[in-house]
Structure 1
Amino acid sequence: MSKRLRSSDVCADCSGPDPSWASVNRGTFICDECCSVHRSLGRHISQVRHLKHTPWPPTLLQMVETLYNNGANSIWEHSLLDPASIMSGRRKANPQDKVHPNKAEFIRAKYQMLAFVHRLPCRDDDSVTAKDLSKQLHSSVRTGNLETCLRLLSLGAQANFFHPEKGSTPLHVASKAGQILQAELLAVYGADPGTQDSSGKTPVDYARQGGHHELAERLVEIQYELTDRLAFYLCGRKPDHKNGQHFIIPQMADRRLSLDVSELAKAAKKKLQSLSNHLFEELAMDVYDEVDRRETDAVWLATQNHSTLVTETTVVPFLPVNPEYSSTRNQGRQKLARFNAHEFATLVIDILSDAKRRQQGSPLSRSKDNVELILRTVSNQHSTESQDNDQPDYDSVASDEDTDVETRASKASRQKSLDSDLSDGPVTVQDFMEVRSALVASEAKIQQLMKVNNNLSDELRIMQKKASRLEKQNSTPESDYDNTPYDTEPDDTVPNRKGRQRSVVWPGDGSLPDTAEPHLVPSPTLPSTEDVIRKTEQITKNIQELLRAAQENTHDSYIPCSERIHVAVTEMAALFPKKPKSDTVRTSLRLLTSSAYRLQSECRKALPGDASLPTDVQLVTQQVIQCAYDIAKAAKQLVTITTKENNN
């Protein structure tokens, strides 16, 4: 962006100086405070980008600049320019106004309610009016007058309107005329570069015929914008469309997935492949919106002055509701925010892979293995519906050991259940989201996890006091507990460290425990509540050290912190029998130990200088936090279980 523009710009909504964001579809520049309101409205109302910290296609930025400089804001504030509006008390926001409610109410009225847009005279047939506007748009895009076209679009003209007499869309006309900025504007409002006219030609064809090579290349990029954005989100690269490469399918950096997650992921992918093209496109667009939300969140947090701007009031925790979508679709869109970084990356890769398959016309895989995976996933989901909703289901897929000992009758019954599941009707997005949601534990931000740990510490102290009264014969005085320092850690030599890692595999022979027991059987060999509380508090204190390191971006502290957590987890796991009879204890121990192992693996990725490891420290930190959250959750479950059993 030119220095001239940046020195003279003011916020379109409150006239504050030096706006750093743009509303792409509104053609305006806005300040941080007003942008926080725009983001809460959703992308269907305002598509925001940071002017410096978001990558821009050059012609898209040029389009927004042109609209802003040519008075596009007057389209959205038309009636406020009338002197009579001052007399009526209506006015726009100013920089001194509070964000809530003053600026927020004005921005919602301006963009969501379109309260100040020029209204056309009322007519009996609204469809005729929309058709007339679209015909005007069709003829206007051959010129460079962007604000006229934006005004028509704001009044209801359709970017994909197919002119019955001309046999083409506005994008065909703009491409034939070489109007690249008009093409950008039309694409922002949903124009499809792949649409054919009555002669079977696309806008790309007309741009190439007219020698408008930059426009032709840009139209191809727009055609693949969704999949390009998803690929760039994961690996920071885009396909080389000029040389015929239209898809990049990134690979997961960490393939050490547990059996449960990998099989659930395969089952979810199978559901994804079964979606109709229409539902798949809806899901892909929703994931695109979620990528935009996450990337904008990252830019937002990185650019705010936290001492002067209260970010808690401007957080967009999930995709805002789009009233044009069904309630089911809106609920599915909001579920996407619950996916942690690893789970969301898996979903994005699945969508990229299936988008490529669908475009190339590759048939679906019909392997029996995939069919049985769906069956096992659905079957286990049904069997766990009666479990406490507060405790996530971490063992919803049977282990290989369980599968080997299944009877033929059981398999036949499962196959019949699956056949019914797949033949009842087409798979919906909701079906897919239900399977995929089994992967979601709940993504914890640093502040949220600190709160969880603080609450857990308080609960532990309360439980400890209760346990002391109930187990006087085995307990120690409260003063001993409160003043007990950390247990002395074992010698941190390489052999000892390897031994700890082996102890994480549950049980010791590396096989997964049998999860087929139908009832919880209280184990007489459970450790005392007092001992479990001691170890849990040690774990939570170590987790808090790790979170402080994450907050302070001291990534070199990750590994020492993870080692201390690993030692504490190993010592806590050693309190329990090797094969506890309680299914709930076994599930919690598996989560505890596997999360500690994953935490060590993730923390190693933060080490600088290793080219084989990912360089996205922010992604690594998210994974580290998620692992820490899972450890704290499992420890709390074990305290609750032992307290309950020992008190019975």
Structure 2
Amino acid sequence: MVETLYNNGANSIWEHSLLDPASIMSGRRKANPQDKVHPNKAEFIRAKYQMLAFVHRLPCRDDDSVTAKDLSKQLHSSVRTGNLETCLRLLSLGAQANFFHPEKGNTPLHVASKAGQILQAELLAVYGADPGTQDASGKTPVDYARQGGHHELAERLVEIQYELTDRLAFYLCGRKPDHKNGQHFIIPQMADSSLDLSELAKAAKKKLQSLSNHLFEELAMDVYDEVDRRETDAVWLATQNHSTLVTETTVVPFLPVNPEYSSTRNQGRQKLARFNAHEFATLVIDILSDAKRRQQGSPLSGSKDNVELILKTVNNQHSIENQDNEQPDYDSVASDEDTDLEAAASKANRQKSLDSDLSDGPVTVQEFMEVKNALVASEAKIQQLMKVNNNLSDELRIMQKKLQTLQSENSNLRKQATTNIYQVQTDSEYTDTSNHSSLKRRPSARGSRPMSMYETGSGQKPYLPMGEVNHPEESRTRLQPFPAHIGRSALVTSSSSLPSFPSTLSWSRDESTRRASRLEKQNSTPESDYDNTPNDRDPDDLGSSRKGRQRSMVWQGDGSVPDPAEPHAAPSPVLPSTEDVIRKTEQITKNIQELLRAAQENKHDSYIPCSERIHIAVTEMAALFPKVKTQV
């Protein structure tokens, strides 16, 4: 129907005044696609479809009723054809969808049903046509559709007739009646129906039954709108980010004000939002029950209950007045009936608790809504934990990449040190005259050896580039630092290219110092390749040598090598081993996997312990890399 109307240019009906050149001077224009949804597009849509501000209006005359009657007769004649655009134009001008033709004795819906015009019937139903209206012969549009063999139209008219009650029943129990088999109503039963036997519930039900048909229709329409609002609100909450909703101010939603309704009705519609799930479900069940009674024409039942309820209310009022006056209440004597009522109430409460404990028993609407809300909250919490898990995984991935980069650069530094360790130059200020002869004997000794001068099996002594200081008591030759083209360029370049860890690990910029110190210890060997072997040293020389080798300097951030004799040089801390880093990394990954598994299995109690274990593991990982402090 909507597609047919759109293809026939029905949009020009809603925007008649906008398309009329005579009304362009009013300043109103159609919203552009680039305009904002709020408030530009929202106001335009409300004015176009709700307020009908741009629809063509007939000039006001004294015979408006005659004009409306004439338009309704034209509609009565037009619905037998398939021209939807003409009928929509007549309806927009004021034709009545439920117009009863005085001469033919039927309504436009009877004519459309008899002609088999399903789209016309759908359009009339949108404008309020009643599928249950009888003509002069006592037949409904459904009867004419079945007589003409239009079974699809007949079924659609039945669905339209029971649309309100079907929607209410589907909201409570998720099922719709089978209209094809004659089932037109489904009255859900509350699992704790004993609560509905209270005096307030009985009084409310009697007031509902005493309403006129017109007031009952308005109440049913308002409840229908409230059901639609609650379902829409539930869908909106399920699609929002709950972590941001918690921080925002929460406002209780309710139905918007309808300008066509009175202020009393608008207030009553908005008060429906204050009903909890159980109260609203009770109201819906009462409306369904009374709608079925009114549809079938059944008389009111329970007149005796009404009398008893009135008498009990009067007695309660008298007893309250007597108690206020501090007078003896001789009339209110405990009777067997009161005892029976108390026993029945306690039994009903016990039965309710038993029913709530049974998994296969009936489930109340309140319990269902509580479980549903808990499920929505759990899903929101799971999404938040998944986001935290993704952040931790990204951080762990960055840590692994940094670790691999450091390992590769460390291996490159080892290779460079192995290649250039014997390309050192002698300096006269670090050696004495007693060692010149031994150094002069080195070329012949090296030339006579066919093997490499770097023998891993012999355990050579370490070469300390910056740490050894010449002591008077030592007569051994001290090795020179790396030349300018080797020591400074290679090591400083490598240290400057090292990446930095994330802030969570508190990685210091003095990492190059720790890596250089570790390089010196790993490349140390027990023997020296020079002629002055450690066997010639006495214990004092050995101690002095050890002291000299233990002195090391801390490289500055700009890559310069400080003077070895600086008294405030701080020792470089030892880097953790690769096995420790891998073990801590695997522990962090394992804890994150446990948190993910707990989230997937809905183990809410495990979220906090798993998060604490992740925090402890990350803290232990950060503790492996201590900061280096220098004294100035």
How far the C-alpha of 1:412 sits from its partner, in A, is 28
For 1:333 and 1:516, the matched residues in 2 are separated by: 89
How far the C-alpha of 1:232 sits from its partner, in A, is 1.2
How far the C-alpha of 1:151 sits from its partner, in A, is 1.7
Per the alignment, do residues 546 and 271 of structure 1 end up closer, same or farther by CA in structure 2, a change over 3 Å counting? farther
- In the TM superposition, what whole-angstrom CA distance separates every residue of 1:361-397 from its partner, at most 9, and x where no partner exists? 3332336455444666799899999999999999999
State which drifts further: 425-434 or 331-340: 425-434
Per the alignment, do residues 210 and 329 of structure 1 end up closer, same or farther by CA in structure 2, a change over 3 Å counting? same
- In the TM superposition, what whole-angstrom CA distance separates every residue of 1:256-292 from its partner, at most 9, and x where no partner exists? xx85984432332222222233332232222122222
For 1:423 and 1:186, the matched residues in 2 are separated by: 47
- In the TM superposition, what whole-angstrom CA distance separates every residue of 1:109-156 from its partner, at most 9, and x where no partner exists? 323432211222442211112111111111111122222212211111
- In the TM superposition, what whole-angstrom CA distance separates every residue of 1:389-434 from its partner, at most 9, and x where no partner exists? 9999999999999788999999999999999999999999999999
* Structure 1 contact 376–398 (Cα < 8 Å) conserved: no
* Structure 2 contact 553–570 (Cα < 8 Å) conserved: no
* Structure 1 contact 195–203 (Cα < 8 Å) conserved: yes
For 2:109 and 2:396, the matched residues in 1 are separated by: 64
- In the TM superposition, what whole-angstrom CA distance separates every residue of 1:189-217 from its partner, at most 9, and x where no partner exists? 11111111122221111111111011011
Per the alignment, do residues 519 and 307 of structure 1 end up closer, same or farther by CA in structure 2, a change over 3 Å counting? same
- In the TM superposition, what whole-angstrom CA distance separates every residue of 1:535-571 from its partner, at most 9, and x where no partner exists? 9999999999999999999999999999999999999
Per the alignment, do residues 91 and 288 of structure 1 end up closer, same or farther by CA in structure 2, a change over 3 Å counting? same
How far the C-alpha of 1:238 sits from its partner, in A, is 1.1
- In the TM superposition, what whole-angstrom CA distance separates every residue of 1:82-126 from its partner, at most 9, and x where no partner exists? 356556532111233233432233233323432211222442211
For 1:463 and 1:306, the matched residues in 2 are separated by: 30
Per the alignment, do residues 385 and 155 of structure 1 end up closer, same or farther by CA in structure 2, a change over 3 Å counting? farther
Q: 1:344 aligned to 2:280?
A: yes
How far the C-alpha of 1:517 sits from its partner, in A, is 91
Per the alignment, do residues 390 and 270 of structure 1 end up closer, same or farther by CA in structure 2, a change over 3 Å counting? farther
For 2:283 and 2:83, the matched residues in 1 are separated by: 41
How far the C-alpha of 1:162 sits from its partner, in A, is 0.7
Per the alignment, do residues 435 and 234 of structure 1 end up closer, same or farther by CA in structure 2, a change over 3 Å counting? closer
Give TM-score scaled by structure 2 length: 0.49
State which drifts further: 275-284 or 451-460: 451-460
- Give the equivalent residue in structure 1 for 2:28: 90
How far the C-alpha of 1:482 sits from its partner, in A, is 74
* Structure 2 contact 118–153 (Cα < 8 Å) conserved: yes
* Structure 1 contact 171–191 (Cα < 8 Å) conserved: yes
* Structure 1 contact 267–374 (Cα < 8 Å) conserved: no
Give TM-score scaled by structure 1 length: 0.47
SS at match of 2:238: helix
* Structure 1 contact 475–530 (Cα < 8 Å) conserved: no
How far the C-alpha of 1:75 sits from its partner, in A, is 1.2
Query: Alignment identity in percent?
Result: 93
Per the alignment, do residues 308 and 171 of structure 1 end up closer, same or farther by CA in structure 2, a change over 3 Å counting? farther
How far the C-alpha of 1:170 sits from its partner, in A, is 0.6
SS at match of 2:587: helix
Per the alignment, do residues 294 and 417 of structure 1 end up closer, same or farther by CA in structure 2, a change over 3 Å counting? closer
- In the TM superposition, what whole-angstrom CA distance separates every residue of 1:320-359 from its partner, at most 9, and x where no partner exists? 3334433333322222111111111111111111222222
State which drifts further: 406-415 or 421-430: 421-430
* Structure 1 contact 372–415 (Cα < 8 Å) conserved: no
* Structure 2 contact 238–376 (Cα < 8 Å) conserved: no
Per the alignment, do residues 551 and 149 of structure 1 end up closer, same or farther by CA in structure 2, a change over 3 Å counting? farther
For 1:393 and 1:527, the matched residues in 2 are separated by: 88
SS at match of 1:441: helix
Larger-Rg structure: 2
Per the alignment, do residues 370 and 565 of structure 1 end up closer, same or farther by CA in structure 2, a change over 3 Å counting? farther
How far the C-alpha of 1:520 sits from its partner, in A, is 80
Per the alignment, do residues 429 and 259 of structure 1 end up closer, same or farther by CA in structure 2, a change over 3 Å counting? closer
For 2:91 and 2:276, the matched residues in 1 are separated by: 38
Per the alignment, do residues 563 and 344 of structure 1 end up closer, same or farther by CA in structure 2, a change over 3 Å counting? farther
* Structure 1 contact 275–426 (Cα < 8 Å) conserved: no
How far the C-alpha of 1:233 sits from its partner, in A, is 1.2
Q: 1:278 aligned to 2:214?
A: yes
For 2:14 and 2:580, the matched residues in 1 are separated by: 66
* Structure 1 contact 141–174 (Cα < 8 Å) conserved: yes
- In the TM superposition, what whole-angstrom CA distance separates every residue of 1:492-544 from its partner, at most 9, and x where no partner exists? 99999999999999999999999999999999999999999999999999999
SS at match of 1:313: coil
* Structure 1 contact 500–567 (Cα < 8 Å) conserved: no
Per the alignment, do residues 270 and 458 of structure 1 end up closer, same or farther by CA in structure 2, a change over 3 Å counting? farther
Per the alignment, do residues 313 and 410 of structure 1 end up closer, same or farther by CA in structure 2, a change over 3 Å counting? closer
* Structure 1 contact 76–116 (Cα < 8 Å) conserved: yes
* Structure 2 contact 109–131 (Cα < 8 Å) conserved: yes
How far the C-alpha of 1:468 sits from its partner, in A, is 60
Per the alignment, do residues 120 and 362 of structure 1 end up closer, same or farther by CA in structure 2, a change over 3 Å counting? closer
Per the alignment, do residues 511 and 462 of structure 1 end up closer, same or farther by CA in structure 2, a change over 3 Å counting? closer
- In the TM superposition, what whole-angstrom CA distance separates every residue of 1:458-509 from its partner, at most 9, and x where no partner exists? 9999999999999999999999999999999999999999999999999999
Q: 1:162 aligned to 2:100?
A: yes
* Structure 1 contact 270–374 (Cα < 8 Å) conserved: no
State which drifts further: 436-445 or 374-383: 436-445
- Give the equivalent residue in structure 1 for 2:438: none
- Give the equivalent residue in structure 2 for 1:361: 297
- Give the equivalent residue in structure 1 for 2:47: 109
Per the alignment, do residues 442 and 541 of structure 1 end up closer, same or farther by CA in structure 2, a change over 3 Å counting? same
* Structure 2 contact 386–596 (Cα < 8 Å) conserved: yes
* Structure 1 contact 375–415 (Cα < 8 Å) conserved: no
State which drifts further: 517-526 or 76-85: 517-526
Structure 2 matches for 1:456-467, cutoff 5 A? none
How far the C-alpha of 1:293 sits from its partner, in A, is 2.3
Per the alignment, do residues 387 and 517 of structure 1 end up closer, same or farther by CA in structure 2, a change over 3 Å counting? farther
For 2:298 and 2:559, the matched residues in 1 are separated by: 39
* Structure 2 contact 584–621 (Cα < 8 Å) conserved: yes
Per the alignment, do residues 427 and 449 of structure 1 end up closer, same or farther by CA in structure 2, a change over 3 Å counting? closer
* Structure 1 contact 140–148 (Cα < 8 Å) conserved: yes
Consecutive unaligned residues of structure 2, counting only runs of 5 or more, are 403-515
State which drifts further: 139-148 or 470-479: 470-479
Per the alignment, do residues 560 and 452 of structure 1 end up closer, same or farther by CA in structure 2, a change over 3 Å counting? closer
SS at match of 2:530: helix
* Structure 1 contact 172–203 (Cα < 8 Å) conserved: yes
SS at match of 1:182: helix
For 2:160 and 2:327, the matched residues in 1 are separated by: 44
Per the alignment, do residues 488 and 478 of structure 1 end up closer, same or farther by CA in structure 2, a change over 3 Å counting? closer
Per the alignment, do residues 205 and 447 of structure 1 end up closer, same or farther by CA in structure 2, a change over 3 Å counting? same
- Give the equivalent residue in structure 1 for 2:557: 508
Structure 2 matches for 1:35-114, cutoff 5 A? 63-83=1-21, 88-114=26-52
For 2:561 and 2:297, the matched residues in 1 are separated by: 40
Give the root-mean-square deviation of aligned CA atoms: 22.7
For 1:380 and 1:273, the matched residues in 2 are separated by: 24
* Structure 2 contact 229–255 (Cα < 8 Å) conserved: yes
* Structure 1 contact 193–203 (Cα < 8 Å) conserved: yes
How far the C-alpha of 1:245 sits from its partner, in A, is 0.8
